[in-house]
A and B are shown apart, each in its own frame.
Chain A
Amino acid sequence: MLKFIAFFRRFRVFLVFLILQIAALSSYFTVMSFPRTAFFNSSTAVTGTLLSWERDIVKYLYLDEANEKLQAENVLLEKRIADNFISIDTNTALINDTLRRLSFERTPATVINSSHTHANNYFTINAGSDKGIERKMGVVSSNGIVGIVYDVSENFAIVKSVLTTDINISAFINKSNAHGLIKYEGTNPRRVNLTGFSNDIEVEIGSKVLARGSGGYFPPGEPIGIVEKIEPVEGQPRWNIIVRLNQDMRKLRYVYVIKNIHKLELETLEKKIPELQ
């Protein structure tokens, strides 16, 4: 009899175990096969409130996502800026209106991998041919130009950074309108050289260096940096101008890829130049 009671006590525990398991698992498997008939879920008032408090606290961890949204919004707004348009008829389109046609389109992207310590630096962005990125498109940040697309895969693209010895971006100095080529010496990631300036051109320290837009990579007037130092090149009648980049390439994260809608037109036209010469 005692043994029977002991057995029953054990059996009772197992019975309770079984009942609770059936309750829990039947709920789980019913919900899994027919979603949204749930009783156990976080839309319930109490847990919902608690979870939203928790979201309020941890939302600072998700600022990246918020940034991306803002970036997309910026693209929409920047499409409306006059710099990105060319006028159809210079005589009539004096004001910024629908007579201007979009010439440069911007696609937002995030830098997912980058270097700045090598002599030739490249970075990877998370936009590729899927988003319409092609080779030789210009890449800018909100501060200024950062590179040119070098190679594209379906979802990513490699960008040749402005910190590359043979980047050769054509640039001009704001006030004098004289132009030269941007080159990188491979030492200081904050500074690039502007070469090809004859020493009879006056250059002011502190004047802005802007993209000239040749080759159609960048909209003309896209900022690059500021003239920091002017040195004479020994034995040659030229200046070596040291330019401080607007964008600190070590902190690059959000960029825009620039698509020049009239690039093909520009290229076919400029192809004739060697023939003419």
Chain B
Amino acid sequence: MNYLVKNILRLLIFVLAQGLIFGQLPFGYGIHPMIYPLFILMLPFDTRPVVLMLLAFIAGVGVDFFMNTFGLHASASVFIAYIRPGIFRQFAPRDGYDILKEPIAKDWGYPWFIKVSALTILLHHFWFFGLEYFKWSAWQEILTSTFLSSIITLTIFILIQVLFFKKSKNV
């Protein structure tokens, strides 16, 4: 399938899944799983940084519509889109990336995927909860929320990879 169509579909699915399912789950303990960063992670390797950020912004605004967060998700997702090339460089295999493949666990291995997504999720959640509380005195809440949500989000990421990306041609 065409990369463009495929990624637009993914954008829609991730935003809807986040807004209608994962954002509504009452976990408690300050846990808010967020799955749309996976959409940003899985955009093709050769996406230009500006395009990456614009897409992240669109996804974030879409989630903001559902969650009544008025730009908080947009900000966090633009942030991870901005740092994504750096993270990928950090964990690049010895021969560099094959830009024809997608950045998914099936093509690059679960250790790589877990490392990359764990770092991305931690930064994303820290940015998000830091801005949400926005006080120094709430550092404990920020850290617990970041840490616990990151664990849940990472688990969901891995589950999505295991369940929906068996064949790399699947959407």
> Could you list which residues of chain A lie within 8 angstroms of chain B, going by C-beta atoms?
12-14, 16-17, 20-21, 23-28, 31-32, 38, 40-42, 44, 46-47, 50-51, 54, 58
Contacts and interface: CB of A to CB of B under 8 A. Distances in A.
A242 B6 CA distance: 71
A42 B19 CA distance: 10
Interface of B: 16, 19-20, 24, 49-50, 53-54, 57, 60-61, 64-72, 74-75, 78-79, 82, 131
A25 B127 CA distance: 12
28 contacts: A13-B53, A13-B82, A16-B54, A17-B82, A20-B53, A20-B75, A21-B78, A24-B60, A24-B78, A25-B131, A27-B70, A28-B70, A28-B71, A28-B75, A28-B131, A32-B70, A40-B61, A40-B64, A40-B68, A40-B71, A41-B68, A42-B66, A42-B67, A42-B68, A46-B65, A47-B65, A50-B20, A51-B19
Nearest to B76: A24
A28 B130 CA distance: 13
Contacts of B19: 47, 50-51
Given A16-B53, A50-B16, A50-B19, A40 B70 contact: yes
A23 B50 CA distance: 15
A44 B70 contact: no
A21 B20 contact: no
Contact of B53 (A17, A42, A46): A17
Contacts of A27: 70-71, 74
Given A13-B82, A40-B65, A41-B65, A20 B70 contact: no
B50 A21 contact: no
Given A23-B71, A28-B72, A41-B65, A13 B49 contact: yes
A46 B50 CA distance: 28
